[in-house]
Amino acid sequence: MTDTPNGWPQGFHAWTGRIGLREESGDDLSLIASDRPCTSAAVFTRSLFAGAAVLVNRRHAPAQQTRAVVTVAKNANVATGEQGERDAVEIAALAGAVVGAPAEQTLISSTGVIGRLLPMPAVRDALATAAEQWDEHRDASPLDVAAAMMTTDTRPKISAGTVGHARIVGVAKGVGMIEPDMATMLAYLTTDAEVPAGLLDTALRAAVDATFNCLSIDSDTSTSDTVALLANGAAGPVDPAEFTAAVAAVCLDLTRQLASDGEGATKLIQVTVTDARDRVQAKRVAKAVVNSPLVKTAVHGADPNWGRVVMAVGKCMDDTDIDPRRVRVAFGGLEVYPRQAGQDDLARLTEVMKQPEVPITVALGTGTAAVTVYGCDLSAEYVRINADYTT
């Protein structure tokens, strides 16, 4: 079960500050750290244009000893060449020094506009302030950190769960350029459970596969996707199965929050594909539906044009075992295909599509596998946000 966290797990602390990248008032730099050694796991974007932060993190993460995560908002530090990578290396070292951890135990994330160098003098000044304040002012809450991470998000995303005597607290951001591949946007999970490195990695990857990698706002994979899980063991050992389930629950809660806050979104779309040949097929078809601009706009307008769903399924032309005669489509509990929907049914469908969450189910009839993916509607506001993103 997930809940809203009141604070971090035992031994974790955080700080936020401002470097001036956020045009409006508000912090745009954050630091989370454990006061004791950690076991860690992390996954990153597979984008060919991975950001400098991701390149540095790929060198640091394999040791599975990450103690700190520093995040710069509103600047992705992507496509910035060797200078961008040197800046990322320096930030990891400076942030690690703040909390008494080596650079190799520090992950860095940057998120925002691509192709611009970081304002390093301002970053250095802010981290110098953090070093001065850390012992007495490391009391930023998960909500504070989640807010400092935001770019076009309209609200911070936080979630928490318990397993035995331990807690798991997660923060996340990202509502545009979102169709994760191996990871997602930015998401950090902290726990005071004592978990072996192997189990931590397995639990995180399983959760990411079933949650963040089943999320799509606009079908665009970010250059900066990062998910990290830090465990410092302060609460002692926990049941492995219960821990795996708790991590998945927190990740799912964060995924749903991200989907419902997609840029310009007014509704969350949940697409479940069942009776598929395997999970790969189920996910491919579900993503085709949730990513369809025509499906997304129909949901936005509560237009009972269910034919757009079968159109999206039909685009999966390489899946030749899909036979339209065996396919079933429903919105909520209302079947719309192959059952012929009358006027009363279309009126009921309109009401389903007016709800803040619109569930769509597609049964393929090719097997027994199932996958659920998460997305949102497409509004004129999405176009406005991204047409004016840097201006």
Find where tokens 């802010």 sit. Answer: 126
Strand ranges for the chain from DSSP E: 2-3, 12-17, 29-34, 39-44, 68-75, 106-113, 157-163, 166-173, 186-194, 226-237, 268-276, 328-331, 334-337, 357-363, 369-376
Please state, in angstroms and rounded to a whole number, the distance separating the CA atoms of residues 294 and 90. Answer: 45
CA distance 207 to 36: 25
Q: Please state, in angstroms and rounded to a whole number, the distance separating the CA atoms of residues 23 and 203.
A: 38
Neighbours of 354 (CB within 10 A): 12
Catalytic residue among 16, 106, 184, 226: 184
Is residue 284 a contact partner of residue 369, using CB atoms and an 8 Å limit? Answer: no
**CA dihedral for 43, 45, 51, 55, sign (positive or negative):** positive
Q: Is 39 a catalytic residue?
A: no
Q: What is the dihedral of CA 231, 153, 181, 300, to 10 degrees?
A: 130
Take residue 377 and report the two structure tokens written for it: 């509607």
Q: Which residues pair with 30 in a beta bridge?
A: 16, 71
- From CA 75, how far away is CA 110, in angstroms rounded? 6
User: For residues 157 and 60, what is the distance between their CA atoms, to the nearest angstrom?
Assistant: 26
Q: Which residues are catalytic?
A: 184
